[in-house]
Structure 1
Amino acid sequence: MKRASSSPIFNPNSWTYDVFLSFRGEDTRCGFTGHLLNSLVHKGINTFIDDDGLTRGEEISSSLLKVIEESRISIIIFSENYASSKWCLDELVQIFHCHESKQQMVRPVFYKVDPSDIRHHKGSFGEALAKHERRLRENVEKVKLWRTTLTKAANLSGDHFKEGEYEYKFINNLVDEISVQLLNQTYLNVAKYPVGIESRVQDIYQLLSIGTTGRCVAGIWGAAGIGKTTIAKAVYNSIGHRFQGRCFLENVGEKSLSNEGLLHLQETLLSETLGGTNLKVGTVHKGMNVIKQRLSHKKVLLILDDVNELDWLSNLAGATGLFGDGSRVIITTKDKGLLTRNGIKLIYEVKTLDCYQALELFSWYAFDTNEPPVEYVALARRAIDYVQRLPLALKVFGTYLGTLETIDRWQTILDSYKSAPYKEIQKPFRICYDALEEEEKQVFLDIACFFNGKEKDILKELLKDDELDFPEDYIEVLIQKAFISLDYDNRIWMHNLLEQMGKHIARQEPLTEPGERSRLWFHKDVYRVLTENTGTSKIKGILVKFPKPVDILLSAKSFSGMSNLKYFINCNASLSGYCGYLPYSLKLIDWGWCQLKSFPSNFHPKELIVLHMPHSHITQLGKGLMKCLTKVTSLNFEGCKFLKSISDFSGLSNMKSLNLRYCTSLLEIDPSVGFLENLVTLDLEGCTNLEMFPNRVGWKSLESISLKYCKKLKKFPEIVEKMESLRSIYMEASGIEELPSSIGFLSGLHILFANRCEALKNLPCSIYEFQHLSFLGLNHCPKLVTLPNKSNSEVSVSNVGSLPLALQTNSNTSHSPALPKLGAYASQDATYPALISLIILSASPH
């Protein structure tokens, strides 16, 4: 039985602030520092400044020490009189204490001062230190510490702002780099209770010879559930700051089964190591070349998690040869032979926790404290012996036993297995599974067979009509009982040991005839059922996933017996032939690279919720089909290069996501799409032949729309009513010639990205109505030669502060000679046209 207690929760991302600003108030508070603070805040960076971040009445010195400790980056603005302040110097000492003890980042800014004056204590810095020495004769050591710390700071690579430079440009570049630093320093969630992890991280640190030159590949090897991924994440958090780029790729074994998966891994590697840059490489071969071009001079940390073969590693990392000197690649695997066969000699074997560590970890999950109550000690030790001190089993079994109210119940559960102890490690999990309610078991099996790694919201929609009144309740039970967890983007994660157990259970019903089972996932069973037409009404879902891509020839009767089929997911098989029937009961179709040119004429999928058919040969979605899609929430036809038309959307009132990226034959979008009340994302990027788009739109829920590279699209639609939800518009390199004045109705707009719109001629005056716009990209728009004026309207800059707008003009002014050179900032007392409030950026962040 659990008892209340505080417990150590390892959360390396629990910073209170992103940035701490250290500065001399009389030098820069109302100028440079104020402008920098404004830009940081508008970029979404949580920044502390000492005159408004503390609660009144607190002891400021002790509070500041704590704030510095809880900030991810400290920006030190060295100005003329910085060293004259004992307060500033004490801040500096604390900053470097945290830099050296906690590896926090420090960013010096030398504002109109020479770094050598700080390094060698000359000029105003030398004079200030001399005064401190005279005044603090009884505390010479303190001044000595200030001198030493100033020298350390000046020796760091920093940013030097010189007299005569454009302040806005310097600040924008600095803030962009800080954003990238923060992105690169995002930590992984390691473990709620990191028992036994620190010593293992130190062992791997030594194995990798961190700090030395050269490149190396190391392996972390051990049994399933023993904590390889957890340890790898902890290593990533611990040493990642030492590298110029870092990337943690999860579930690599599964994702590397197909070229598409490898391509995604390459693009993720590039994106994460290059600070969020979204690169599309097209093919795996091109991806190798791009990785070599962009990363060959970077010191990279790459962790490949859950690897089961290495034949493809050269396509991803080139056995580290594609990375710069000092790079490290870490591979986690259950197969030691995989490492030795590929010449990897640096291997760390993860062993089970020792008895004391296992008891502590079990106790945290069972009792919410680091040790069991005295009366439970013997039972707790029996339990950890039973699960062989395996961390995952300790978590699941401890969570389950912790829900039991009496010591007698513990005794009963453990005694029931005394006469026939299980040797297979999955058996403890089966105990916990058997204790679930029937509905909870069904949801568990669905996740294990079909939805591990999928979005929670999609699963909720799919389960809603599945004889489950409150599907979220069952998902929450599985979370509470440690069967599943949610990752950072709300996707469901189930450990592969639990997934394997669930799949094993599903394959037992019945053992001999796959067509009589509710869930098909094993590739041989799937092949047999689809080619021999042996499917029955008992089949609820099919996952088509082969060790290597295969061809399967369908017949008219392949699906004819599956009247209750709800989920069909094809990962890597090429399904061709004639499909004369698809069940009406289908709720999810995820069928990439489908060879069908059209759906069967008798297909009326009134239960369908998710229809994903990327890169398929579908040519059209006819009226008959579209009328049936009343429950659909997500349509994805990305890369369907033969798709020419889609009929009336008006019946799709539940649709939240529409993805038609790179449908290069698509000529028009039906006007009805403009009034889908629940639509949240609309992506038409790369529809290079799209000419017709709704003239009028009134989306109530839309948050993002992309019209990038729609080169033939000339007109942006009129906005017929206020749309508060829309946050971002991406129309880069489109053919749009002008934006309507009604765009002012987009009161919640944060991003308008219109770079390289070669036909764009003007902007409407209504852009001044945007109250939340944080980025306006207008780079390389050669026909945009003037900016709009608000006739006879001038506003105080202090009143325009609610318009945190970053305007990106052409970095090459010859493209737009008439665009004014606007100052970035103005004094709070001056009155200027509203446009003066725009912050001019010189280069695209993309």
Structure 2
Amino acid sequence: MEYLLDKWKSILTKAANFSGWDIKNYRNEAEQVDEIVKDVLEKLDIALLDITDFPVGLESRVQDMIEFIENQSSKVCKLGIWGMGGSGKTTAAKAIYNKIHRKFKDRSFIENIREVCEKDNRGCINLQEQLLADILKTNVKVPSISRGTAMIKRRLGLRNMLFVFDDVCNFEQLKSLCVTDKWIGHGSVIIITTRDVRILHSLQVNGIYEMKGMDDTESLELFSWHAFREASPGENFSELSRNVVAYCGGLPLALEILGSYLFGRTKQEWTSVLSKLASIPNEQLQEKLKISYDGLDDMEKKIFLDICCFFIGKGRAYVTVILNGCEFHPEIGITILIERSLIKVEKNNKLTMHDLLRDMGREIVRQSSLEKPEMRSRLWAHEDVRHLLANKTGTIAIEGLALKFQGNRLCFDTKAFEKMKKLRLFQLDHVQLVGDYEYLPKQLRWLYWKGFPLKHLPDNFHQENVVAIDIKYSNIKQVWKMPLLMEKLKFLNLSHSKQLASTPDFSKLPNLEKLILKDCPRLSNVDQSIGDLSKLIVMNLKDCTSISNLPKRIYQLKSLQTLILSGCSKIDKLEEGLMCLESFTTLIAEGTAIKDMPRSIVQSKSIGYISLCGYEGLTRDIFPSLIWSWMSPTMNLVSCIPSSGSMSSSLVSLNAQDTSLGDKSPIIGSLSKLRCLWVQCKTEIQLSQVLKSIMNDTYSEANVSDLATSYASTSQILEHPSRSLLIGMGSHCQVLNALRERRSKGLTTNGSTDFFLPNNDNIPYCISHTGEGNSVLFKVPHISDWFMKGMVLSVVYSWTAVKTVDNCLISIFIVNHTKCTIQIYKQDTAKSFNDEDWQGILSNLGFDDKVQICVAFGHGLTVKWTAVYLIYDTSVNMEKEPLSNPKKKLREDL
């Protein structure tokens, strides 16, 4: 900088001789040059922050965030940058600052907030002083945090500013710096980088940008710049470089540290480093990543280390059950680990983490006893565990142990576990134990034993504290000879046990919640004691091909939510008792012999997801097709669905291809939640027959024999008083309100009819069609650049009864003669058309379609005139977005 100043002085000395600067007020030439330098430096941009020399992939990420900032319309834009340690949060924040800082006269970048606050008690005060100095351009002494907060509010209030707060680890740090909308001026921008997303939620930021890993191409380029000072590795190091990049997993910090560490080293040294990294992480990288771990409390640390060593790839709910058994409070603990970027939950609800974080956690355990593995809390390395069991050197320090072996079975004496009194997590894979099972610790919470070798659990298998038994691919024929009392057991998995013929007696498992019996081909009997499992939530019998029926006591399980029977090819029916399952939400029964489902299934108020008879998805999507599949012309449809009870609340629409609808009217009437019925016909003749059948059979009280010619005598109608009814459909609700207002004021009508025509500034464009009687026929017009926003039906009717009937309207029929479809909207729907109803109507109206709208009224009421107003507007997007139809996914591989 001094060199640059000298150069500038030399140049500016010459510049001072030109006109424009008055030198009479300066004592000498040097003083004048100093003033010129000072003036120019204030105008020059010297506020740029130093960032990485190799900004690979940075530009696109930064541009996304800048665009977000520029598009914000709120008073203050608050952007959070979140990610694990070493993901590039600070680098991105600096790059954004460099791009936009010129727009702000007042700006401040406060770096390493966590580190500053941890150094001494004056950490927050130092940050306050830095903030005040950056904005006020002078040093300010702050006596205390509270005084500093007050000074910031008083001196910085309502300024337009740019703030960047880097590496925030708790909300109190931001609070001391007055990072709220109340104290910052309109147009200000605040950027916060943190490893804890909860801080950003607490601040209610406008957006959160997650710093995700670099892809393979970016990773290799960034690594190469640090390892070779070139954009790509040389041929001799290409494969080794790719191995290092794979190890780094897209983490910029790891790529930078390892690239710099390997710079200038030989191939032999590279190979040695890679070999070492397989068991011992890089120390510099370890310390950087460990910062997030150090901020956890003791319980959270235990949860993190358990996941690192045993539960990566396991379901979140499954792990929660086990750790709850350990009294670790995993519901909040796992959430905190997610918020602090230490673990992630994939879409299938499996727990995952970056490989480098896994290695960091395991290294913490290893460092606790470098020379004596038996003194560590958790053991997972094959040789360490094998040596310990073979030599019976276990200790009370061991809480978790895993041994996986894919070759011939390893065999150990159960006495090797005698001293492991605190062992709670126990995982074996194709390992055999011989001896007395009394030696197994009584503190076990999790027993995972793939390839369990025995024919049944030993009689002395006393594990009163175990919460999860997972013994897949076992040789078990009978789970136990005599029922074993395991009051805390919540999860039992016996999947892929090829010899298992019968489920165990469940009478002494009062708290079992999940029973998984997938792919047990010889399993033919489900014990009646299944009915004792009052807390059972999930039962999975997938691919149990020998089961032909289920005990009726299953239908007594009030807590059962999920039943999976897919692949049970001998099961041909389910009982009507299925609807007695009060908590039932999910039924999966593909690949069974079931041809006829209990009709009561559609009366369930709770069931949400179903897969059977070739249908799969949400019940609101599946039930309509399922119901119509029952409605063949030869069936007694009245008995198809019981008339008593209420239908599933999710059944709101039916689509029918079958045109034999005459005998289906009773079932249509029983669907209390049904909003719309669609009928598709093949010809217009068929359409007319079906419409007549529906009108006669379902709505006979309308006294309509032939809808197309059902006009009443005008002279007869005029003998009775008349009134009008307005029905609004679509998004232009103000249209109906306007019409009602005009009507209430008694405005003029159209000739001899009693229609109240819309004439309002709120209605951009309106086309009306009228018809005698209870129907109106028209063609859908094609109006360029205009979009139909709604319809209003105006119906004038008379009555012969002494008193009027409040619920006079029974249904509305929208008949598309061009497409040969009928849409039926029941009374409740007609009273309150919603957006989804309107989209259903609109989707079936094409330009020039011949459409007839009909109304059906109750007994004693006669329709005199019917009119329809088509409301158009240009103020909406002409491209209609399709309604979403989400499919529910099972969260775990049960």
Which bracket does the TM-score occupy, shorter chain normalised?
A: 0.3 to 0.5
TM-score (norm 2): 0.42
TM-score (norm 1): 0.44
Instruction: Specify which structure has the higher proportion of strand.
Output: 2
